[in-house]
Amino acid sequence: MGSSWGGSMFILVVILVGVLEVPMARGDMSPSQCKEEQRLIVNACKPVIFGLSPSAACCQRVRVMHAECVCPAVTPKLAALIGVQRTIKQIEGCGRTVPHNFKCGSITTP
């Protein structure tokens, strides 16, 4: 399992962190804006790939991430690559709580 697995795991962490950090704003982001937002958060949160806690810059980027840019990417295959409990700990590392039974793509939080 090479960098593809690590990248997929990181994307899922970012997706869940981003989705659970901000209220959903529907339809106000273009595909190009979503792509740019995803690029910015990946750059800010790279250390999460290696199991580190999110940095202040990562958490800030997560707080402004739009849910509609990321939830469609959460497939069952991607969801299977990471444990939900680990992801919740990453979210809590940003000082946020995780709502129970929150659905984002293929993931529903406990």
Task: Quote the CA–CA distance of 87 and 93 in Å, as a whole number.
Answer: 10
Q: Structural domain of residue 48, as residue ranges?
A: 3-108
Task: Quote the CA–CA distance of 93 and 105 in Å, as a whole number.
Answer: 22
Provide Rg for the chain, Cα atoms: 13
Q: What is the pTM of this model?
A: 0.62
- Structurally, the chain folds into a number of domains equal to 1
pLDDT 10s digits, 45-98: 888 777 777 889 988 887 777 767 877 777 777 777 766 677 677 777 777 776
